[in-house]
Amino acid sequence: MTEGYDAVPGRERSRLRSYLEAVVAARPAPVHTTVAFNAVYFGYELGGDGYGGSPLCLDDFPVITFGECAPVLPVGAMVCVATGSDPLYAEIVYREGAHPEVGALGDVPAWVSGAPAGAEGPGRPGADAEPRRRELLVPDLHAFGPALSLSPAQLHRLRTRGRWINEDGHVVVDVCYPSPQAARRDDLTAYADHLLTTAREQLLSPFVPVSLASLVGGTHDDDLRAGLLGLLDTVRGVLDSSAVLRTWGHYAMTRTSLADCWRDTGPLGGDDLRSFVAAVERAATPARRRRGLIAPSTVYTAVGPRLRGFPGAAERLRGAGYAAAVCRANVALADVVQGDSDHGLFGNGSRITLDDAFEGGGVWRSHHPGDAEAPGDPLVPAGRGWNSTLHALPEPETEVELEPVDAPLADDALGTGELLRSDAQEIVWRAPLRLAHLIGGWFPLHPFVAEELCRPHGAHPTLRLELDHAGETLDEKEAVQNVAAELGEESGRLTGVVWPGDFFPGLMLELRRLRGDTVIRLATTRLKERVQAGDRETGHCYDPRVLTREDVPGSSRHGDSAVGLGPRQLVMRTVRRCGLLTLDGHALMDRSVLPSAVYGRRPARSQAAALDSAVAGLLAERLLEPALGSRDAWGQPHFPPRDGQRTIPLIGYRPARPRVIRPWDGGEPGGEGLRDAQFVAGHLRRLRPGCLPSDVQRAAFREHCRRLGKADGWELPYGYTFVTEHTRGR
């Protein structure tokens, strides 16, 4: 599951889906992807104890205080709410922006909608290196079961005083972000950062059912991050694929609860939802005028505050009920926009679009006349409110959108190969497979071989090629082939080669030819364990430089073209194809020249903005990394930066650090091998009352802690034993 949703076998997806559907049905608030991850990873019991039975260390939870500054606390964070007396343990299940300029009935100033954290006013983004933003956090105060929850009377006193939590049972804090980039991270990336820093001890605790360190085979940060993001992707994919759940962003709720809400005639039931949708639709529609022109009108409405204006809604919006009401209202409005409008354009001439998904539970933009604006996806937050307050930049002379250029593959010295042995019996050499070889069905011969073959057989002999793909079974037509040779005075190549389907650019090939023979034997070399190299998983030796350069988006054995790629793929392709290449497969590129490298010249502003946005996203996801280089007097970039030269920002591609992939009986996902054996990582198991773990299992647990990088002295928690890693058969 650490490889993401697509890599999980169908049977395992089904089991996880059944559990998460039960979790969503049991929790009082819509279940965010990160909360669903917590349930799976830390062990959430559906019988009412929640995390109360899990061996989490409550003292490790960060403490938050109502109305004060707090560190970044994404949804899913487990916290201790300061109360001045008994600690209040909770899981953050929902968060939204709580900007003080948002009106009590949901009216939002244009500049607030889509504004970055730390913005000071219209068109003023702020210059603070550590921006702050006021946020409303909804804690689930019963997530750790009745034993760690306050009584209803105690909670009522806390809400009434309004000192530790507000009257709705929520916590409002000023969140201080370490950087503007951190404030722009998506929910899953922010939660991964939280677990790998603030909650690292919690993440790597050997008390959890199966530690992430065991799943990825180590405690290296890159491995942990990749595995964690893979698990989050698996959980999100499972939630999205459920037929009984609906999602709004990362929040999942049951379709049954939505249907019950529409049938409810009380506060925030079906009637109020219909009124809310109609109010947003008509918000910008001008009143009838007898004469004169109608000026354009734009209204921004925040969902959360707007719901508070409905009679009798106060009780429904307390605790986790607020999160449920906001998500249902957004789903209702989104369904109407998708079903009753043309890309948000309604029959009354108004265009309704989601403008900010975070502030106030979601800010919707109503604009009239809507047909004067270019259509787009109405459910993708565009931030038009904030953008409308920025000073307009001068338009370039031409805004003609360009097609990305297809720079030809360089026929350079990359991966030329090496001679391994040349004696009286045979010639052995090694070289990586190149993309051009895959596309054209050919492979170069070593000059010694070409020269020796040309003398007795002429310029165009027919040779026998025997392929051995280590550990794999080849088709008969691939294993033994009759190929033509094109021989020159100093070079030669094999043509008409049918390459096996799983051969890829960078795969190392070892070739040998006996003296005087017309047979050439080609073999791959198997690694001791499978590794992840960039986007490709392989169990065979490869050249990391060729893999980085040529195994890029838009390239396959059928062709090599950038046409049709999206901005993210164009960025990855260009950095890997054009960047400064290191011996271990890293590629570094001057960020300022990226647009010109993609399109051959400076593209339209919209295309450049799309590339810049893609770079920001890839950097946030750690698929690219920032670096500093320098530029000399001739304009040549250098890395690392040289003294006396102007520094320039670089973006770098770094292949994923090779790590152990633990196959189940060596089978591929969905294959027969999965039905025979399954690897089970070491984990804790609850004992029956009165039972104690053996000394052997105590020692095994201490050894397990040492492998995870923990200090010595860890003991089994009371009531648990340790199950060592093993292979389970069926």
**CB 591, CB 639: distance < 8 Å:** no
Res 454: pLDDT: 86
Instruction: Please state the rounded mean pLDDT for residues 502-515.
Output: 93
The label of the residue with tokens 């004696």 reads 423
Is 80 exceeded by the pLDDT of residue 428? yes
For 457, phi and psi rounded to 5 degrees?
Answer: -115, -5
Res 416: pLDDT: 63
Q: What CA dihedral angle connects 120, 126, 131 and 136, to 10 degrees? A: 20
Q: Give the tens place of pLDDT for each residue, 350-400.
A: 999 999 999 999 999 999 888 878 788 899 998 999 999 886 444 344 356
Q: Give the tens place of pLDDT for each residue, 537-580.
A: 888 999 888 999 999 999 989 888 888 899 999 999 999 988 88
Res 400: pLDDT: 61
551-559: long-range contacts (C-beta < 8 A, 24 or more apart)? 551/435, 551/504, 551/505, 551/506, 552/576, 552/577, 555/435, 555/505, 556/438, 557/438, 557/439, 557/499, 558/439, 559/439
Which of the pair, 579 or 138, is modelled with greater confidence? Answer: 138
How far, in Å, CA of 480 to CA of 467, rounded?
6
Res 665: pLDDT: 41
Share of the chain above pLDDT 70, in %: 89
Per the prediction, the chain carries an average pLDDT of 84
Is 90 exceeded by the pLDDT of residue 411? no
Which of the pair, 154 or 117, is modelled with greater confidence? Answer: 117
Instruction: Please state the rounded mean pLDDT for residues 236-258.
Output: 94
Establish how many alpha carbons lie within 13 A of residue 456's alpha carbon, considering only the half-sphere containing its beta carbon.
Answer: 9
| Beta bridge partner(s), residue 673 | none
**CB 518, CB 464: distance < 8 Å:** yes
CB contact set of 314 (below 8 Å; sequence gap of 6+): 168, 308
Is 60 exceeded by the pLDDT of residue 292? no
Helix (H) or strand (E) holding 535: none
Q: What CA dihedral angle connects 158, 161, 163 and 168, to 10 degrees? A: 60
Helix (H) or strand (E) holding 633: none
Neighbours of 223 (CB within 10 A): 22
Is 90 exceeded by the pLDDT of residue 333? yes
CB contact set of 419 (below 8 Å; sequence gap of 6+): 427, 428, 429, 446, 448
Is 50 exceeded by the pLDDT of residue 664? no
Helix (H) or strand (E) holding 135: strand 132-140
Q: DSSP H helical segments within 407-486, as ranges?
A: 435-440, 447-457, 476-479
For 171, phi and psi rounded to 5 degrees?
Answer: -120, 125
Res 584: pLDDT: 76
Give whichever of 16-20, 148-152, 183-187 has the largest mean pLDDT. Answer: 16-20
- Label residue 654 by pLDDT band (50, 70, 90): confident
Q: Give the tens place of pLDDT for each residue, 475-498.
A: 989 999 999 999 887 788 999 999
Instruction: Please state the rounded mean pLDDT for residues 511-538.
Output: 89
Instruction: Please state the rounded mean pLDDT for residues 401-412.
Output: 64
Instruction: Please state the rounded mean pLDDT for residues 237-266.
Output: 94
How far, in Å, CA of 399 to CA of 607, rounded?
9
The label of the residue with tokens 């004067």 reads 372
Res 414: pLDDT: 66
Instruction: Please state the rounded mean pLDDT for residues 332-339.
Output: 93
- Label residue 689 by pLDDT band (50, 70, 90): confident
Q: Check residue 198 and report its DSSP letter.
A: T
Share of the chain above pLDDT 90, in %: 39
Res 536: pLDDT: 84
Q: Could you tell me the maximum CA-CA distance found in the chain, to the nearest angstrom?
A: 103
Tell me whether residue 486 is exposed, middle or buried, using C-beta atoms within 10 angstroms of its C-beta: 0 to 12, 13 to 18, 19 or more. Answer: middle
Which of the pair, 430 or 707, is modelled with greater confidence? Answer: 430
Token readout for 647 is 């520094």
Q: Give the tens place of pLDDT for each residue, 209-227.
A: 888 888 888 888 888 889 9
Res 415: pLDDT: 61
Res 392: pLDDT: 46
